[in-house]
Amino acid sequence: LVIATTQLQNQQIFLTDSQKHYLVKVLRLTKGNRFIAMDGKGSWWLSELAENLTEATIIESIAIKTELPISVTLIIAMPKGNGFEQIISGATELGVTSIIPVNSDRTLLHPSPQKLERWRRIAQESAEQSERQIVPTILDPLDFTTSLEQIINDNTYRYICIARGDIPHLLNSLPTEQLLENTDKITNYQPPSIVIATGPEGGWTPSEIEQAKAAEFQPVSLGKRILRAITAPIVALSLVSSALEA
């Protein structure tokens, strides 16, 4: 269960109505039952539901680590329909750090504030179910060009997935050793991070590919078959998480 730090006082968690509903009505917990509370920023606590069912007591902090060793951002051209929800839950399960939904030359969508709220709730629920320490950030949608300017860390490895052409495979383009280097001892060291962009159903336009290259994004392939716009980010992230964790 994700809680806000304002709900926490002297080892007591004060549950909101919807959290109480979830624990008591959905999960059918009762007094004395234990569950895990997290703040979505890295802290986890084993907690016990109190007799009044509206509070819980923290029993102990839990030290678990399920995060990828470095930050991975996905820039994703928003697909029409509900496909973005599937991307958010799958990418959260696979360890994404943040997602930037973008409009591209071939897609123009203006998701409502309610939709954005729903996307963030899906990220939170998926983070809970896959025992993440953090809830991935879902940024407000940007234009693709603007999203390229958001990448300000110099030590970021940038990739743009392109469905056609004789280009290197993402798996052969990840400098796994550099990405996993233990650099704790170097002062002012900026840890590496990865950004991967995947396009809309109609693909990126040549102009977008040129802009991405100018922003130091390397064109990469995800294999010989053309993947759907909702499959490509999941495949890209599966490759990255496997390369970082295997």
- Interface with ligand SAM (CB under 6 A): 161-164, 198-199, 201-204, 221-223, 225-229, 232
CB–CB of 213/117 below 8 Å? no
Q: Are strands 71-77 and 193-198 parallel, antiparallel or unpaired?
A: parallel
Cα–Cα distance between 143 and 134 in angstroms, integer? Answer: 26
Nearer Cβ to ligand SAM, position 49 or 222? 222
Of residues 224, 194, 201, 217, the one with CA closest to residue 69 = 194
Nearer Cβ to ligand SAM, position 119 or 144? 144
Least Å from the CB of residue 223 to ligand SAM: 5
Nearer Cβ to ligand SAM, position 23 or 94? 94
Cα–Cα distance between 203 and 243 in angstroms, integer? Answer: 26
Name the residue with the smallest CB distance to ligand SAM. Answer: 203
Nearer Cβ to ligand SAM, position 134 or 232? 232
Least Å from the CB of residue 4 to ligand SAM: 36
Least Å from the CB of residue 75 to ligand SAM: 10
**At a CB cut-off of 8 Å and minimum separation 6, what does 199 contact?**
77, 104, 106, 160, 161, 162, 163, 208, 229, 232
Nearer Cβ to ligand SAM, position 179 or 212? 212
Least Å from the CB of residue 107 to ligand SAM: 10
Least Å from the CB of residue 151 to ligand SAM: 17
Nearer Cβ to ligand SAM, position 124 or 147? 147
CA distances from 213 to 61, 162, 217 (A): 45, 12, 5
Residue type at 109 in one-letter notation: L
Nearer Cβ to ligand SAM, position 201 or 216? 201
Least Å from the CB of residue 160 to ligand SAM: 7
Q: How many CB atoms lie within 10 A of CB 85?
A: 16
Least Å from the CB of residue 188 to ligand SAM: 35
